[in-house]
Amino acid sequence: MSLARRIIPCLDVDGDRVVKGVNFVELRDAGDPAQLGARYNAEGADEIVVLDIAASRDRRPTFLETIRRVAAELAIPLTAGGGIRSTEDARAVLRAGADKITLNTAAVARPELISETSLEFGAQAVVLAIDAKRDGDQWVVMIRGGRDSANLDAIAWAKQGVALGAGEILLTSMDRDGTKSGFDTALTAAISSTVSVPVIASGGAKLPDHFAEIFTAGYADAALAASIFHDRIQPIRELKEFLSARGIPVRLPC
Amino acid sequence: MKITLLDCGVSNVASVERALQRLGAESQRAATAECVERAEALLLPGVGHFEALIRVLNDRKLRAPLCDAIRRGVPFLGICLGLQALYDASDEAPDLTGLQLLPGRVCALPPVAKLPHMGWNRVVLKNQSRLLKGIDADAYFYFAHSYAAIEQGEETVAACSYGTEFVAVLEKENMCAVQFHPEKSGEAGAQVLRNFMRLCA
């Protein structure tokens, strides 16, 4: 028996609305997070990720309320992040109804945040989000929503994050994000074969073949996408039937 | 019948509460010995570290009333860590004593596969089950754990395989427990909770 490969719709939210953009810019409104969450829950999504793209202090209460509204609609796990800088921030997100938190920029600035949250809430609740960008023959970690380089090698950072207690890696290819040209298989395979925890691949998905490839050649444990689900370009159920027909274990019927 | 949710502050009680609500069950949170003593049905959700849960049960003097209630025949459902707590001990916190309602130790899953065991997996029926009644044999459930009860006893009604086979569902008279999260397991998980509600009725 093997674990089903997970299909994860991602809701990038700004306050109380879902937004979408290309390469983290040109944001457009894409709907109500709770309504989208309910739709994906019914369509067979295996998990939902909600990310606060603004991650600003003064809009934190709005984001927490968004998590509460989304969580109320779900009978599947919910991961939430964006702007989590402390154990107390993480606690607020988990209390609002998330099962896992994602850490990104703040963990680069202060890696102990990973161990602190992992000890407090368990490794299964701590997802290290890495935004990686190709730079010569390696991938570098990008922070602050992909704007700045952290001058860290993505593979080394993934390993360090897991050693510190991250229970999962959410790996976004900044080169592929928003391009719909397929996941970054080389990047995902490099990280997934290095770390001992599950890896969620993100960035670049459009076609069912992209998903099949990232699960086989990329060794991804889960695949995340946003706009192709929001815009109904790719219905989740059909995607899973496609994967199942190719021998990739997915949760069906759903 | 009202289901009493043990709120040990270490788990996401709210998600179990919401799941029960959706199914039309009445529930209340409890964090004191008196509430446990008066409970008509008990549910122990658990996420996180074995040590954190056992310490809360000890410090709040919930251990004895909880064990008494289960021995008295009060319907009980343990979820995830709530299953692991029933055993003698766990390798996750070797110095602490579990509830000792079942013999054996909870062990770390072997590192032959990626850990935590996180995601959707299937279970194999070992004995007739009341909790799994009406659920397809190939249904998936959501797991998120690194430790498990590997030794199976006659109370084991279903097992899951990940690196090794471990207890996924156990039933011993009124005492039931699942290693997966029914509140996060879609329709299959909802049916497990409905079946437990039926046992409580």
**3-state SS string for chain B:** CEEEEECCCCCCHHHHHHHHHHCCCEEEEECCHHHHHHCCEEEECCCCCHHHHHHHHHHCCCHHHHHHHHHHCCCEEEECHHHHCCCCEECCCCCCCCCCCCCCEEEECCCCCCCCEEEEEECEECCCCCCCCCCCCCCEEEEEECEECCCCCCCEEEEEEECEEEEEEEEECCEEEECCCHHHCHHHHHHHHHHHHHHHC
Residue numbers of B between 71 and 110 with CB closer than 8 Å to A: none
pLDDT(A113) > 90: yes
In a domain, A250, yes or no: no
Residue A95 near residue A138 (C-beta atoms within 8 A): no
**Given pLDDT bands bounded at 50, 70 and 90, which one contains residue A230?**
very high
Chain B residues inside the 8 Å CB shell of A119:
49
Q: Is the predicted pLDDT of residue A23 greater than 90, yes or no? A: no
Q: How far is A210 from chain B (nearest CA, A)?
A: 21
Residue A166 lies in a domain: yes
Residue type, B107: C
Judged by a CB distance cut-off of 8 A, whether residue A121 touches chain B is yes
Query: Which residues on B lie below 8 Å from A167 (Cβ)?
Result: 116, 118
Contacts with A4 from chain B: Cβ below 8 Å: 119-121, 140
- Dig out the tokens for A112 from the structure: 């102990």
Per residue in A151-209, pLDDT (tens digit) is 999 999 999 999 999 999 999 999 999 899 999 999 999 999 999 999 999 999 999 99
In a domain, A221, yes or no: yes
Contact state of B142 with A221 under an 8 Å Cβ cutoff:
no
Structural domain span for residue A62: 7-245
**Of A2, A121, A197, Cβ closest to residue B48:** A121
Longest dimension (CA), chain A: 47
Residues A97 and A79: their CA atoms lie apart, in Å, by: 9
Q: What is the pLDDT of residue A5?
A: 98
The residue count of chain A comes to 254
Domain architecture of chain B: domains with CATH? 2-200 (3.40.50.880)
Does residue A46 fall inside a structural domain?
yes
- Contact at CB, A75 and B124, closer than 8 angstroms: no
Q: Is residue A1 part of a domain?
A: no
End-to-end CA gap in chain B: 6
Q: Which two tokens stand for residue A38?
A: 């309910």
Is the CB of A251 inside 8 Å of chain B's CB atoms? yes
Q: Which of residues 6-35 of B touch A (CB under 8 A)?
A: 12, 14-15, 18-19, 22
Closest by CA to B91, choosing from B11, B188, B166, is B166
Residue B187 above 80 pLDDT? yes
- Residues of A with a catalytic annotation lie at 12, 131
Q: How far A69 CA lies from chain B's nearest CA (Å)?
A: 12
Residues of A with Cβ-Cβ distance to B47 under 8 angstroms:
99, 121-122, 124-125
Task: Let me know: does B81 contact A159? Beta carbons within 8 Å.
Answer: no
**pLDDT for A248 beyond 80:** yes
What secondary structure does DSSP assign to A138-155, as a single string?
EEEEEETTTTEEEEEEHH
Interface membership of B129 toward A (CB under 8 Å): no
A220 in a domain, yes or no? Answer: yes
- Rounded Cα distance between A19 and A230, Å, is 10
CATH of the domain at A192: 3.20.20.70
- A21, pLDDT greater than 80: no
pLDDT of residue B81 exceeding 60? yes
Please say if B183 is a catalytic residue: yes
Burial of B59 (0-12, 13-18, 19+ CB in 10 A): exposed
Q: Which residue has the higher pLDDT, B47 or B102?
A: B102
Is the separation of the CB atoms in A155 and A188 below 8 Å?
no
Q: Is the CB of B111 less than 8 angstroms away from the CB of A222?
A: no
Contact (CB, 8 A) for A185 and A31? no
Tokens of A59: 């809009």
Q: Decide if B105 contacts B91 (C-beta within 8 A).
A: yes
In the prediction, which pLDDT does A55 show?
77
Q: Which of B35, B145, B155, B181 is catalytic?
A: B181
Where does the pLDDT of residue A253 fall: very low under 50, low under 70, confident under 90, or very high at 90 and above?
low
Q: What angle do CA B194, B197, B200 make, to 5 degrees?
A: 160
Whether residue A1 is predicted with pLDDT greater than 70 in this model: the reply is no
Structurally, how many domains does chain A consist of?
A: 1
pLDDT of residue A57: 75
Q: Identify whether A241 is part of a domain.
A: yes
Mean of per-residue pLDDT scores for chain B: 95
Predicted local distance difference test score (pLDDT) of residue A60: 85
**Distances, alpha carbon A230 to alpha carbons A8, A31, A77, A208, A235, in Å:** 12, 8, 19, 16, 9
Pairing of strands B117-122, B41-44: unpaired
Q: Do A99 and B12 touch (CB under 8 A)?
A: yes
pLDDT in tens, A118-166: 988 889 999 999 999 999 999 999 999 888 999 999 999 999 999 999 9
Phi, psi of A68 (to 5 degrees): -60, -45
Task: Identify the weakest region by mean pLDDT among B17-21, B128-132, B164-168, B173-177.
Answer: B17-21
β-strand pairing of A48-52 with B140-145: unpaired
Question: CB A71 to CB B15 under 8 A?
Answer: yes
The answer to whether residue A2 is domain-embedded is no
Separation in Å, CA of B180 to nearest CA in chain A: 12
Catalytic choice (B8, B17, B35, B80): B80
Of B120, B181, B187, the CB nearest to A4: B120
Q: What is the pLDDT of residues A52-98, one digit of tens each?
A: 988 777 788 899 999 999 999 999 999 999 999 999 999 999 989 99
Q: What is the mean pLDDT of residues B3-16?
A: 84
Supply the pLDDT for residue B49.
Answer: 83
